[in-house]
């Protein structure tokens, strides 16, 4: 019912707004709700009409991080870390904040975020970030909350490959006390040259520098590497080798795709437009899930996997979990499916587990590989 109201009434009205404007208003509304306990209680009660799903069968441990369910918010939805508690109240178990850059950066000129079809997005934001100092200030609001916050590490556009390790490490240092994990994001298609940092040499340097920073701070915060769905399997294997050789905890698979064929299906115009496609596109989702399955096959239990790309309901979440993901992330479907998306996914997973006679999520992870 709530989903029907959202999709039939609210979403079409929102479609008249520029996609980024919708996103900003939604984020600001959650941020404002955080200021008042009663507003937040309303948010929680409204999430999927019935509130957050709390059930021990959904809990997962991701690299030592206790998640109350496997559905997190992916990087890009809350780049500045101003709506973490609001998103948690909507039923997500945690939020990957960022990508965060060392210095403030406005990103590309607008418009730069588009809906190509219902549930399918293209963005070329180009790493807009208020900079790490502001994000550190924002995240103070959640200190001691216990909400798992991942920090997506990015670099400013004018930072060359040689300085990239220091740039990532600088963000990790300042946000160390807020981070349940770090994700090295070298897979956004919107910063020239960034994806080349997925190559063996540059990636090793970045991962080693971030690891050294974590050690310097006296901790053991797990580090993930986020990859593009457009990598060849050979290139993925290089990333896996770097990860295994350098104590990386896991892989976030995947970022958006810049495949022109996929973009071109939404009209010739989009084929050559800069930006990455995400959300409810069956082929994109298949590419992204295939990456999860490949990583699981190659690395087994040695690397944890966070599956992201086209997750919008229990079925698409379960595809990723069965392929080997311990947790999934959602970004575009928060817009496409509405604010109850995490609750619907969790309820659907529980229904499926009951039908299949599965007792815990541990039995589900990787069962199809």
Ligand X SMILES: Cc1cc2nc3c(=O)[nH]c(=O)nc-3n(C[C@H](O)[C@H](O)[C@H](O)COP(=O)(O)O)c2cc1C
Minimum Å gap between C-beta 109 and ligand X is 15
Q: Are strands 327-330 and 250-253 parallel, antiparallel or unpaired?
A: unpaired
Name the packing angle between helices 314-323 and 282-299 (round to 10°): 30
Minimum Å gap between C-beta 38 and ligand X is 30
The Cα–Cα gap between 347 and 54 comes to 10
* Matching residue, tokens 């399955």: 293
Minimum Å gap between C-beta 308 and ligand X is 4
Nearer to ligand X, 165 or 307 (CB): 307
Minimum Å gap between C-beta 155 and ligand X is 11
Nearer to ligand X, 130 or 362 (CB): 130
The Cα–Cα gap between 304 and 249 comes to 6
Nearer to ligand X, 108 or 188 (CB): 188
Catalytic residue at 232? no
Q: Kindly tell me the sign of the dihedral angle through the C-alpha atoms of 176, 181, 185, 186.
A: positive
The active-site residue, picked from 99, 187, 188, 278, is 188
Minimum Å gap between C-beta 177 and ligand X is 21
Contact 103, 112 (CB under 8 A): no
CA distances from 187 to 92, 236, 276 (A): 24, 12, 10
Nearer to ligand X, 28 or 45 (CB): 28
| Ordered alpha helix ranges (H), the chain | 2-5, 11-14, 19-34, 37-46, 84-89, 132-139, 164-175, 200-216, 233-245, 260-264, 268-271, 282-299, 314-323, 332-336, 341-356
Contacts of 146 (CB under 8 A, 6+ apart): none
Nearer to ligand X, 139 or 311 (CB): 311
Minimum Å gap between C-beta 187 and ligand X is 7
Nearer to ligand X, 11 or 123 (CB): 123
CB-neighbour burial class of residue 23 (10 A; exposed 0-12, middle 13-18, buried 19+): buried
Q: Which residue is nearest to ligand X (CB)?
A: 76
CA distances from 238 to 52, 185, 232, 243, 298 (A): 39, 16, 10, 9, 11
Question: Which stretches of the chain bind ligand X, using CB under 6 A?
Answer: 74-76, 79, 98-99, 113, 121, 123, 125, 152, 185, 188, 226, 255-256, 278-279, 308-311, 330-333
Nearer to ligand X, 341 or 365 (CB): 341
Minimum Å gap between C-beta 262 and ligand X is 12
CB-neighbour burial class of residue 129 (10 A; exposed 0-12, middle 13-18, buried 19+): buried
Contact 76, 331 (CB under 8 A): yes
Active site members: 188
């Amino acid at each position: 019912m709530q989903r029907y109201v959202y999709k039939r009434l609210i979403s079409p009205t929102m479609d008249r707004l520029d996609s980024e404007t919708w996103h900003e208003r939604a984020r600001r509304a959650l941020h404002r709700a955080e200021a008042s306990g009663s507003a937040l209680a309303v948010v929680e009660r409204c999430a999927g009409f019935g509130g957050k799903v709390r059930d021990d069968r959904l809990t997962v441990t991701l690299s030592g991080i206790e998640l109350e369910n496997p559905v997190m918010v992916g990087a890009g939805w809350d780049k500045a870390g101003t709506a973490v508690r609001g998103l948690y109240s909507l039923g997500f178990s945690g939020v990957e904040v960022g990508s965060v850059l060392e210095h403030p950066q406005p990103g590309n000129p607008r418009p730069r975020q588009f809906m190509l079809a219902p549930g399918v997005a293209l963005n070329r934001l180009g790493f807009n970030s208020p900079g790490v100092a502001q994000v550190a200030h924002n995240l103070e609001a959640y200190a001691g909350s216990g909400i798992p916050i991942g920090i997506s590490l990015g670099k400013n556009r004018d930072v060359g490959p040689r300085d990239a390790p220091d740039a990532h490490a600088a963000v990790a240092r300042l946000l160390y006390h807020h981070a349940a994990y770090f994700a090295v994001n070298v897979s956004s298609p919107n910063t020239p040259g960034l994806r080349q940092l997925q190559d063996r040499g540059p990636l090793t340097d970045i991962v080693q520098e971030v690891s050294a920073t974590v050690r310097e701070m006296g901790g053991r915060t797990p580090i993930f590497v986020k990859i593009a769905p457009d990598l060849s399997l050979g290139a993925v294997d290089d990333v896996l080798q770097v990860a295994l050789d350098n104590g990386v905890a896991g892989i976030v698979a995947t970022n958006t795709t810049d495949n022109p064929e996929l973009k071109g299906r939404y009209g010739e115009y989009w084929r050559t437009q800069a930006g990455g496609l995400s959300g409810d596109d069956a082929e994109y989702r298949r590419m992204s899930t295939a990456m999860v399955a490949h990583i699981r096959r190659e690395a087994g239990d040695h690397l944890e996997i966070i599956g992201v790309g086209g997750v919008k309901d229990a079925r698409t979440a379960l595809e990723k979990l069965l392929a080997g993901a311990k947790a999934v992330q959602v970004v575009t479907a928060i817009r496409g499916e509405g604010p109850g998306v995490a609750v619907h996914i969790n309820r659907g997973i529980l229904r499926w587990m009951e039908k299949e006679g599965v007792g815990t999520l541990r039995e589900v992870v990787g069962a199809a590989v």
